[in-house]
């Protein structure tokens, strides 16, 4: 079995990362028959080379006919566009993994991280949502611990890279950096404040109760993925002058005490996790080392001195890969491996 794959938003950051991952090597569970790339009018007509083949970027249109024949389609577009495109793609018989915030909290749409809640993917109706980047890397690191010793509370403070905002923010960080070195005025268009050598404790729109949307997402999405609607989660999300790689200082409270050694042992055996934890030798996860890599890196694992059943840890991941494009590919692989194609397709097969 081979698959026809589509990418809507193919010229964006997550779309490009998706193509880069496909290019890096064969993925045995997702052999590619054909690849079609879609983008808005602005980028349509461009040509992108993937695996030695030239691909024309087609203009995306919310028309089921356009997506006919595709098995898997990633949408890496804005929330508003995703509201339009996902149902169209599902109607065309393809399975859509959407990276935006449009569908994540929709009860009928599974929100899936394959290392954590793979079975939820089975219940899709043609659309599966990929969680927010900062949520993904946190749940990949915490779920294996939670399986052994239930987590009762999570306090997380993030250090998030500008690539989470998109190309323009990466350009802005570099432009501000260059301007400072050259003594020029710092350009500023994307963020409300300078990000070069500064911190901005605002990610997403304001959602009331003192929270920005990124903080709300980390709470709500973690609860949905863990199937714990009342899980106690608190987050402060901060943009830092780093290009790629989100970092998180996490403090958890468990049902029973757990020694750091046990936590490290569990994490060493966990899928998608790499433990880097040798503080004496200054070895711990860092964004410059996580950028471009697949795993979620965990270090600084220690007892939380402020809680008898607490653990503290430091988690770093590439927000464009596991935080977005890689997770989508892994969802497609999960579906392909298990034969959990879209209901429409299943009907056709059995007809």
Does 243 participate in binding its own copies (rule CB under 8 A)?
yes
Does 168 participate in binding its own copies (rule CB under 8 A)?
no
Count the residues in the chain. 351
**Catalytic site residue 133?**
yes
Distance CA 60, CA 285 (A): 39
Whole-number Cα distances in Å, 216 to 82, 134, 210, 255: 20, 12, 10, 24
Q: Retrieve residue 113's tokens.
A: 């991280």
**Catalytic site residue 182?**
no
Q: Which is nearer to its own copies, 21 or 154 (CB)?
A: 154
Does 351 participate in binding its own copies (rule CB under 8 A)?
no
Which of 55, 124, 196, 246 is catalytic? The answer is 246
Does 276 participate in binding its own copies (rule CB under 8 A)?
no
Min dist. Cβ of residue 61 to its own copies (A): 36
Select the residue interacting with its own copies from 4, 177, 213, 293 (CB under 8 A).
Answer: 177
**Residues between 182 and 211 that touch its own copies (CB under 8 A):** 182, 192-194, 197-202, 206, 209-211
Q: Which is nearer to its own copies, 86 or 165 (CB)?
A: 165
Does 317 participate in binding its own copies (rule CB under 8 A)?
no
Does 287 participate in binding its own copies (rule CB under 8 A)?
yes
Q: Which is nearer to its own copies, 91 or 300 (CB)?
A: 300
Does 314 participate in binding its own copies (rule CB under 8 A)?
yes
Min dist. Cβ of residue 242 to its own copies (A): 5
Does 219 participate in binding its own copies (rule CB under 8 A)?
yes
Does 273 participate in binding its own copies (rule CB under 8 A)?
no
Q: HEC profile for the chain? A: CCEEEEEECCCCHHHHHHHHHHHHCCCCCCCEEEEEEEECCCCCCCEEEECCEEEEEEECCCCHHHHCCCCEEEECCCHHHHHHHHHHHHHCCCEEEECCCCCCCCCCCCECCCCCCHHHHHHCCCEEECCCHHHHHHHHHHHHHHHHCCEEEEEEEEEECHHHCCHHHHHHHHHHHHHHHHCCCCCCCCCCCCCCCCCECCCCCECCCCCEHHHHHHHHHHHHHHCCCCCEEEEECCECCCCCCEEEEEEEEECCCCCHHHHHHHHHCCCCEEECCEHHHCECCCHHHHCCCCCEEEEEEEECCCCCCEEEEEEEECCCHHHHHHHHHHHHHHHHHHCCCCHHHHHHHHC
Select the residue interacting with its own copies from 53, 108, 189, 306 (CB under 8 A).
Answer: 306
Min dist. Cβ of residue 139 to its own copies (A): 16
Which of 55, 124, 133, 146 is catalytic? The answer is 133
Does 154 participate in binding its own copies (rule CB under 8 A)?
yes
Min dist. Cβ of residue 298 to its own copies (A): 12
Active site members: 133, 246
- Judged by the rule CB under 8 A, the positions of this chain that interact with its own copies are 153-155, 157, 159, 173, 177-178, 180-182, 192-194, 197-202, 206, 209-212, 219, 232-234, 236, 238, 240-243, 247, 249, 251, 260, 279-280, 282, 284-288, 299-307, 310, 312, 314
């Amino acid at each position: 079995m081979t698959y026809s794959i589509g990418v809507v938003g193919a010229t964006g950051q997550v779309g490009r990362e998706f193509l880069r991952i496909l290019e890096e090597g064969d993925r045995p569970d997702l052999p590619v028959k054909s690849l079609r790339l879609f983008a808005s009018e602005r980028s349509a007509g461009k040509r992108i080379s993937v695996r030695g083949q030239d691909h024309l970027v087609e203009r995306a249109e919310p028309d089921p006919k356009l997506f006919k024949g595709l098995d898997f389609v990633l949408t890496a577009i804005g929330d508003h566009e995703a509201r339009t495109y996902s149902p169209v793609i599902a109607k065309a018989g393809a399975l859509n993994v959407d990276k935006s915030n449009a569908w994540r909290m929709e009860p009928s749409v599974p929100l899936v991280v394959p290392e954590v809640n793979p079975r939820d993917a089975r219940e899709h109706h043609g659309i599966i949502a990929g969680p927010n980047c900062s949520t993904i890397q946190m749940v990949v690191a915490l779920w294996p611990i939670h399986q052994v010793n239930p987590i009762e509370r999570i306090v997380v403070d993030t250090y998030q890279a500008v690539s989470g905002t998109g190309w323009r923010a990466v350009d802005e960080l570099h432009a501000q950096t260059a301007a400072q070195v050259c003594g020029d005025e710092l350009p500023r268009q994307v963020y409300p404040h300078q990000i070069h050598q500064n911190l901005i404790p605002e990610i997403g729109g304001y959602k009331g109760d003192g929270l920005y949307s990124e903080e709300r997402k980390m709470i709500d999405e973690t609860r949905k993925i863990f199937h714990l609607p009342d899980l106690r989660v608190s987050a402060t999300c901060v943009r830092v002058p780093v290009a790629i790689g989100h970092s998180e200082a996490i403090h958890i409270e468990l049902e029973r005490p757990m020694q750091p050694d046990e936590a490290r042992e569990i994490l060493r055996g966990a899928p998608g996790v790499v433990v880097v934890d040798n503080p004496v030798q200054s070895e711990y996860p860092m964004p410059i080392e996580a950028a471009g890599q697949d795993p979620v890196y965990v270090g600084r694992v220690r007892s939380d001195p402020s809680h008898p059943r607490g653990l503290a840890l430091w988690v770093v991941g590439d927000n464009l890969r596991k935080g977005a494009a890689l997770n989508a590919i892994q969802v497609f692989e999960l579906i392909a491996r298990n034969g959990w194609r879209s209901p429409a397709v299943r009907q056709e097969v059995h007809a």
